[in-house]
Amino acid sequence: QQQVKQSPQSLIVQKGGISIINCAYENTAFDYFPWYQQFPGKGPALLIAIRPDVSEKKEGRFTISFNKSAKQFSLHIMDSQPGDSATYFCAAARWYQLIWGAGTKLIIKP
Amino acid sequence: EAGVAQSPRYKIIEKRQSVAFWCNPISGHATLYWYQQILGQGPKLLIQFQNNGVVDDSQLPKDRFSAERLKGVDSTLKIQPAKLEDSAVYLCASSPQGGNTEAFFGQGTRLTVV
């Protein structure tokens, strides 16, 4: 019940395309859903986050779509750029807990 | 605002030796995390502090790993004795208050055990 399942494990997208990464959770008590971006040799950094009272949040080219009834959320990267190539982690949190997905390695081909 | 500081950045030790990592979180952050990240994998939580109390150390190999958070601020993580499989990046992160607030990560310490 504490797991967060993330897919796909890896993703290759052409420059200018849309990158989509999906996550699913089971514990309905989670109340914070962040996405972290990690570049090689760096620690993860918060990219965008959503709380379950909204179904979508957009920041620039990055959008989180949240489906509370399906217990799923996804990250969409519009107009993907080579600089977006990184590993992306979804997570789910409540109170003191922060549960991580396994990560998606995204490669944007020029 | 200063970020999360970690030292050292890199460490190479022989198996069975001991090693210590240091973390200075962002000022005022109540929650401090230590993660282990093996190459190609996601971060694995080792221990989480809320102020100077431990709230989760269920995945900490307590026979060889120990951690403390002095006066609810700085923290040290120690491995004694190290094994080959401890080779990983050790990440420290802090957040204002618990898991449902943004966690800020340090650069990490890359440990190689030979």
**Distance from the Cα of residue A12 to its chain's centroid:** 16
In this predicted structure, what is the pLDDT of residue A96?
78
Could you give the number of structural domains in chain A?
1
| Within-domain flag for A88 | yes
Q: Nearest-CA residue of chain A relative to B97?
A: A96
- Domains in chain B, start-ordered, CATH in brackets? 5-113 (2.60.40.10)
Residue by residue, pLDDT tens for chain B (114 residues) are 689 999 999 999 999 999 999 999 999 999 999 999 998 888 899 999 998 899 999 999 999 999 999 888 999 999 999 999 999 999 999 999 877 788 999 999 999 999
In angstroms, the CA B27 to CA B71 distance is: 13
A109 lies in some domain: no
CA dist B61 and A33 (Å) reads 28
Does A93 contact B102 at a Cβ distance shorter than 8 Å? no
In a domain, A41, yes or no: yes
For residue A70, tell me if it sits in a domain.
yes
A49:B102 CB<8 A: yes
Task: Give domain status of residue A95, yes or no.
Answer: yes
Q: Single out the residue of A80, A102, A78 nearest to residue A92, CA to CA.
A: A102
Residue A69, domain member (yes or no): yes
The answer to whether residue A85 is domain-embedded is yes
pLDDT tens sequence across A46-82: 999 999 999 999 999 999 999 999 999 999 999 999 9
In a domain, A93, yes or no: yes
Closest alpha carbon within chain A to B98: A96
Residue A17: give the domain boundaries: 4-102
CB B16 within 8 A of CB B104: no
Question: What is the domain-level CATH number for residue A11?
Answer: 2.60.40.10
